[in-house]
Amino acid sequence: MRTVHVELGERSYPIYIGSGLLPQAAAYLIKHGLSVKSPHLIVTDDKIAPLHLETLKSSLEGAGFRFVISIVKSGESSKSLSVYEEVMTTAIQGGLDRNSSVIALGGGVVGDLAGFVAATYMRGISFIQMPTTILAHDSSVGGKVAVNHPLAKNMIGAFHQPELVLYDLDTLKTLPAREVSAGLAEMVKHGLIKDKEFAYWCKEHASELLLLDLDALGYGLERGVAIKAEVVSQDEREGGLRAILNLGHTIGHAIEAVGGYGEFLHGEAISIGMAGSALLAEALGRGEGIYTETTAMLTSLKLPVVLPDHLNEDDLMAAMMHDKKFKEGTLVFVVPDSIGSVSIVKDIPQTLVRDILKQLRKGGKVNV
């Protein structure tokens, strides 16, 4: 088993990564002082429930824990205020009190939703994550929890750190191949922003990662969460440094919004976004050759790097203007300097961004 400690003073917590952890969930919860007197809430989705919920339930029941369960519909549409209210209702009807915990068994959607419930139920109770996707290695570090507003993603949320994260690699075996690739997009992103060696390691071990080889996966997730944890420890509330984690996300979020959440997976969208950032870097005269290097890594992980035709530029620009990355009307982007290093660049003209979108649609640097 691998353990990564996320250092956040009083709010520090461990991430346990390994095989066979979910059947021992109760032992970890007891170790972390979870009350057997108060009822708890498990939040999961209707794809994960038939696959992994029973394992968690039997572990908890065996140890005498009481709990209620919210099973939401699989997919981004569950990150809404109306589903949030339903989960709150289950929590209240289940009699959760201030010593209760909310346990998220699932991917980033379940984690973000359950985390926002935990952050705001009785003004905040304890939160535990049991990620079942690769992408959730990202969402399990940093304490960002949120639901979407019809007008903008992740607009309604809080910072709420988990008590612990229990990452059972075995649950990943049931993940569809497309979700595996999408999750690896955030993994390689962590290399691209801060660790050149790790970025290249991801490319070299692409086939093992795609096949969910336990050793490769364990190491990749450990490095991924460790890099994110390092950034978050230095900037818990996203005052500055933490913004580098948004590499690929400005364009990525716009793609998700315009495509309608659901057409593109988050990881796919940010993969195209990272390709876009690389193009932007070259257009700004930084990081020569970085577009080719970046897209080679992304395609090795079976990720898309071309902006599809049906996504209108005007719509994408409009979506970006609503995005949080735009402070007071100026355009801010995370731009790579080289593999393993990025900068925050302000005052990027909208015309340049439009130009990048056009190039991104053609699959690379072309005269447009």
Ligand X SMILES: NC(=O)c1ccc[n+]([C@@H]2O[C@H](COP(=O)([O-])OP(=O)(O)OC[C@H]3O[C@@H](n4cnc5c(N)ncnc54)[C@H](O)[C@@H]3O)[C@@H](O)[C@H]2O)c1
Residues placed in the known binding site for Zn(2+): 186, 249, 266
Interaction between residue 98 and its own copies (CB under 8 A): yes
Q: First CA to last CA across the chain, in angstroms?
A: 51
Lay out the site mask for ligand X across 297-326 (x = CB under 6 A, - = otherwise). Answer: ------------------------------
Task: Report d(CA 166, CA 24) in Å as an integer.
Answer: 10
Selected from 19, 58, 159, 299, the binder of its own copies by CB under 8 A is: 159
What DSSP state is assigned to residue 258? H
Give, as ranges, the residues between 36 and 55 that touch its own copies (CB under 8 A).
37-38
Interaction between residue 273 and ligand X (CB under 6 A): no
If one counts every other C-beta atom within 10 angstroms of the C-beta of residue 63, the result is 14
Helix, strand or coil, per DSSP, at residue 191: helix
Catalytic position from the list 160, 203, 223, 266: 266
Contact between residue 79 and residue 109 where contact means Cβ atoms under 8 Å apart? yes
Q: Which residues are annotated as a binding site for NAD(+)?
A: 74-79, 108-112, 132-133, 144, 153, 171-174
Selected from 10, 309, 314, 328, the binder of its own copies by CB under 8 A is: 328
Across the strands, what pairs with 4?
A: 15
Stretch that binds its own copies, among 91-99, 221-229, 250-258, 272-280 (CB under 8 A): 91-99
Selected from 175, 180, 251, 319, the binder of ligand X by CB under 6 A is: 175
Q: Which pair of tokens denotes residue 139?
A: 């969402």
Task: Report d(CA 142, CA 230) in Å as an integer.
Answer: 10
| R_g (Cα) of the chain, nearest Å | 20
**Please, what's the b/e burial string for 284-298 (b: 16 or more CB within 10 A of its CB; e: otherwise)?**
eebbeebbebbbebb
Q: Which does 98 bind (CB under 5 to 8 A by kind): its own copies, ligand X, none?
A: its own copies
Stretch that binds its own copies, among 80-88, 165-173, 311-319, 344-352 (CB under 8 A): 80-88
Q: Which does 284 bind (CB under 5 to 8 A by kind): ligand X, its own copies, none?
A: none
Q: How many residues bind ligand X (CB under 6 A)?
A: 30
Q: What phi, psi does 212 have (nearest 5°)?
A: 60, 35
Across the strands, what pairs with 103?
A: 42, 128
Stretch that binds ligand X, among 47-55, 190-198, 276-284, 302-310 (CB under 6 A): 47-55
Distance from the Cα of residue 28 to its chain's centroid: 23
Q: How far is the CB of 336 from ligand X (least distance, A)?
A: 19
Give, as ranges, the residues between 68 and 97 that touch ligand X (CB under 6 A).
74-76, 79
Interaction between residue 350 and its own copies (CB under 8 A): no
Q: What angle do CA 207, 212, 214 make, to 5 degrees?
A: 115
Contacts of 165 (CB under 8 A, 6+ apart): 13, 14, 15, 16, 128, 129, 130, 131, 140, 141
Interaction between residue 123 and its own copies (CB under 8 A): yes
Active site residue 253: yes
Task: Report d(CA 1, CA 361) in Å as an integer.
Answer: 43
Side-by-side strand order, sheet with 67-72: 2-6, 13-18, 164-168, 126-131, 101-106, 40-45, 67-72
Q: How far is the CB of 8 from ligand X (least distance, A)?
A: 14
Catalytic position from the list 205, 246, 268, 282: 246
Helix, strand or coil, per DSSP, at residue 296: helix
Q: How far is the CB of 308 from ligand X (least distance, A)?
A: 19
Residues that bind its own copies (CB under 8 A): 35, 37-38, 81, 84-85, 88-89, 92-93, 97-99, 119-124, 144, 146, 149-152, 155-159, 237-238, 322, 324, 326-328
Residues that bind ligand X (CB under 6 A): 45, 47-48, 51, 74-76, 79, 106-110, 112, 132-133, 135-136, 138-139, 142, 144, 154, 171-172, 174-175, 179, 182, 266
Question: Would you please indicate which residues are annotated as catalytic (active-site) residues?
Answer: 123, 144, 186, 228, 238, 242, 246, 249, 253, 266
